Amino acid sequence: MISRSNHLLRQLAVNSGKRCLATNTQMVTVRDALNQALDEEIQRDDRVFILGEEVAQYDGAYKVSKGLWKKYGDDRVVDTPITEMGFAGIAVGAAFAGLRPICEFMTFNFSMQAIDQIINSAAKTFYMSAGRVPVPIVFRGPNGAAAGVAAQHSQDYSAWFAHCPGLKVLTPYDSEDAKGLLKAAIRDDNPVVFLENEILYGVPFPMSEEALKNDFVLPIGKAKIVHEGSDVTIVAYSRGVQLALDAHEQLKKEGINAEIINLRTLRPLDFETIKNSVKKTHHLVTVEYGWPFAGIGAEISAQIVESEAFDYLDAPVLRVTGVDIPMPYTATLEAAALPNAGHVVKTVKKVLNVA
């Protein structure tokens, strides 16, 4: 598992490094960008604290909270027992009482143990209290497929949480996304599900001088056009953005100019950016690692069909997704169950009706 994960990290680092050509930038891993956001927000606001399994003395299972316990102590960085329902409930109760907890799940696969606290307690209370009880809480941790961890530790919960009114759902891709969106999530008065990706933690991305400042915050609900194009719109989020970017490089060699949209936020969805892009390119491909049935791509496709953008399409909306099965453990079958850049290229050519 470790060697497979390291291979993916090296490959992603090489690809991200190719795009670091701007001046006045610094290469920062996603892990360190998240750590910066946590550090700055704990320091900025006395109500902010983080709790979860091994977040304090062990510096976090993935070292995202490294150094924070030594800096801020037991009251601000809290180790919990292995009981997701228990510590998620403590975090929700703290939010009810006016604190701003950051509840870390070692993996979002384990968040299913706390689903009642997330959906019934956190997501619905502001509505059920007629706006009298805000719930400023962040549920964060790695989501989706890692490497060699099989069916019970590889699930993508993006569509699950995006389905639920009352939650905001953020899916960062690179280091600027990670820092700017996490700071926005911590400052938001609503419960936020913050879906990171384990494979991306160790990948360095360029961060601008602005992004390295303490006051850098990205808006929730606003997508980013990573590359402008005219022939086809490719919409992706989280690690799927890397597939879209890799496909963009291959397509460019064949004279196909793709517009790449990094969603950043799944709920509220920035449909305006998608719609305006489709009106320009007349073609749409969505990319995600999750299952196809009732997925994010399916929702985007439905919203396109229900809007005026449908009249601008020259071909059906096509999706690139994970295969509709539980994740296999065997390396070759795992690879076969996940999307890759070749799938994106093939799908774009299909939607454009080119060989």
324 phi and psi angles, rounded to 5 deg: -80, 60
Q: Which residues contact 264 (CB under 8 A, 6 or more apart)?
A: 170, 171, 172, 173, 177, 181, 218, 222, 223, 224, 237, 270
Residue 178 and residue 203 in contact, taking contact as beta carbons nearer than 8 Å: no
**283 an active-site residue?**
no
pLDDT in tens, 256-271: 999 999 999 999 999 9
Query: Own/partner pairs for 327-335, CB < 8 Å, 24+ apart?
Result: 327/145, 327/149, 327/150, 327/151, 327/154, 327/155, 328/150, 328/151, 329/148, 329/150, 329/151, 331/4, 331/148, 334/145, 334/147, 334/148
Rounded-to-10 torsion of CA 86, 87, 92, 94: 120
Beta-strand relationship, 265-267 and 318-320:
unpaired
**Summary mean pLDDT of the chain:** 94
> What is the CB neighbour count within 10 angstroms for residue 180?
22
Q: Which of 273, 222, 245, 270 minimizes the C-alpha distance to 348?
A: 245
Residue-level pLDDT at 9 = 57
**209 an active-site residue?**
no
pLDDT in tens, 64-88: 999 999 999 999 999 999 999 999 9
**pLDDT above 70 (res 16):** no
* Position 348 confidence tier, pLDDT thresholds 50, 70, 90: very high
Tell me the mean pLDDT in the region 324-328: 96
Residue 214 and residue 249 in contact, taking contact as beta carbons nearer than 8 Å: no
Q: Is the Cα torsion angle 227, 231, 235, 236 positive or negative in sign?
A: negative
Residue 125 and residue 135 in contact, taking contact as beta carbons nearer than 8 Å: yes
Residue-level pLDDT at 315 = 98
Go through the domains of the chain in sequence order and give each one's CATH number: 2-208 (3.40.50.970), 224-352 (3.40.50.920)
State the catalytic residue, choosing from 40, 84, 176, 288: 84
* Position 288 confidence tier, pLDDT thresholds 50, 70, 90: very high
**pLDDT above 90 (res 202):** yes
7 phi and psi angles, rounded to 5 deg: -60, -45
Residue-level pLDDT at 5 = 54
pLDDT in tens, 301-322: 999 999 999 999 999 999 999 9
pLDDT in tens, 126-142: 999 999 999 999 999 99
State the catalytic residue, choosing from 153, 163, 282, 343: 153
